[in-house]
Amino acid sequence: MENIEDFMIVPPHLNAEAYRNDTSGNGIVSYLDYIKIHPDGTALVGSSEITGRYWDGGASVFSKVADGKTIEAYEKRSINLNSGTADGCFVLICEDSGAVSIWSKTEDNPWQEWMEDKSVAEHDDGALAVDCLSPGKEYVTVGADGNAKVGMVWPVT
């Protein structure tokens, strides 16, 4: 017959409490993934954070390349993503989730808040690269699923 003292209840691991109350930050992290420079001199800089509990990323648009020397969370010109980003093309972004999304500014001023207009799951694994074949009309993406896809930039209404 076993003693009741042999059945001791062990409390949950103390680290579990820290994770339970943890929230992700809202800033763009500085693990650089890509830099795209537009002919008008603006720069699109993408970064991902895949070293912590939350694997997220983002992109920042700078009016000139020199402004992008340090990546900080400028609320008015940063695009926050729920997954990492591997590539971008003004402003069409490939995500680690396989999605390709179109982003635009909410007002006529390009440094205002960005919003996601449309998103489509193009790949079954991470979307790794994008290139604009005809700016504003056609794009091509390649993904970790081994597929290359040509798509039309759908109308944003």
**For residue 108, pLDDT beyond 60:** yes
The residue-averaged pLDDT of 147-154 equals 80
Q: What tens digit of pLDDT does each residue of 49-104 get?
A: 776 666 778 888 888 877 777 655 544 457 777 777 777 777 788 888 888 888 87
Predicted structure pTM score: 0.63
Residue 37 pLDDT greater than 80, yes or no: yes
- Answer whether 72's CB lies under 8 Å from 47's CB: no
The highest-level CATH class for domain 26-152 is: mainly beta
Written as one string, the DSSP assignment of 15-53 is HHHHHHT-----SPP--EEEEEE-TTS-EEEEEEE-SSS
- Is residue 142 predicted with pLDDT exceeding 80? yes
Residue-wise pLDDT for 19-32, tens only, equals: 555 655 555 456 78
Taking the domains of the chain in order of start, what are their residue ranges? 26-152
Residue of 76, 73, 121, 114 whose CA lies nearest to 95: 121
pLDDT for residue 149 is more than 70: yes
Cα separation values, 148 from 71, 142, 154, Å: 30, 4, 18
The long-range contacts involving 9-15, CB below 8 angstroms and separated by at least 24 positions, are none
